[in-house]
Amino acid sequence: MKQETEKEQGTTPEEEIVMEGGAAREEVAEAAETEEAEVVDHGASELEAAKRQAEEHYQRYLRTQADFDNFRRRARAEKEEFAKYASQKLIEELLPIVDNFDRAMAASREQRDIESLAKGVEMIQRQLFAVLENEGLKPIEAIGQPFNPELHEAIMQVPAEEGGASGIVAEELRKGYMLKEKVIRPAMVKVTE
């Protein structure tokens, strides 16, 4: 009877086992394809995330580069502006001296008093030196000092006085000046032999 039912159904127990095995293989294949698709999807999403991150980094790099270029342009413009008007403070301090010279010249035309003109010019000279000293200018002491080629420019040698040492500055022909610690003009001197 069992055989009859099997025949009616058209499959034998061996065939059923084979069929079940085939179905199992199909299920395994489908599961493998699903896992593979998930791995591919996961890999694709990681790739997309990496691309987005790379794009963000690139955009940040471009912004940083633009910021740096703007900073460099701004610094150059500020430097040029500073150089252009660096002497403005000094000029503002010298303008009253120029005004005093103008007044002295006007007064000398009206009055022929040489003595008062000389006093006025001396006052203006002191005012000028005060402004220059405030900026760091100081005269180089020369007369009676040992000759120093860094501070003095010897143009002539003169005989030393009796008992005097040689290599001493005897006369100053042109005053020398230092701006802070730098010699901007050496003193022109005569030195003893």
pLDDT digits (tens, 9 = 90+) for 162-193: 878 889 999 999 999 999 999 999 999 999 98
Cβ neighbour number for residue 169 with a 10 Å cutoff: 21
What are the residues whose beta carbons fall under 8 Å from the beta carbon of 96, sequence distance 6 or more?
Answer: 127
Token reading at 183: 């010699």
Q: pLDDT digits over 109-140, tens only? A: 888 788 888 888 999 999 999 999 999 999 99
Model pLDDT, residue 40: 63
Model pLDDT, residue 1: 47
8 Å CB contact between 12 and 6: yes
Model pLDDT, residue 45: 85
Among the residue ranges 10-14, 27-31, 179-183, the one predicted with the least confidence is 10-14
Among the residue ranges 57-66, 99-108, 135-144, the one predicted with the least confidence is 99-108
The torsion of the CA quartet 14, 15, 16, 17, rounded to 10 degrees, works out to 50
* CA–CA distance, 171 with 156 (Å, rounded to integer): 10
Q: Which one is predicted more confidently, 44 or 140? A: 140
8 Å CB contact between 192 and 163: no
8 Å CB contact between 146 and 167: yes
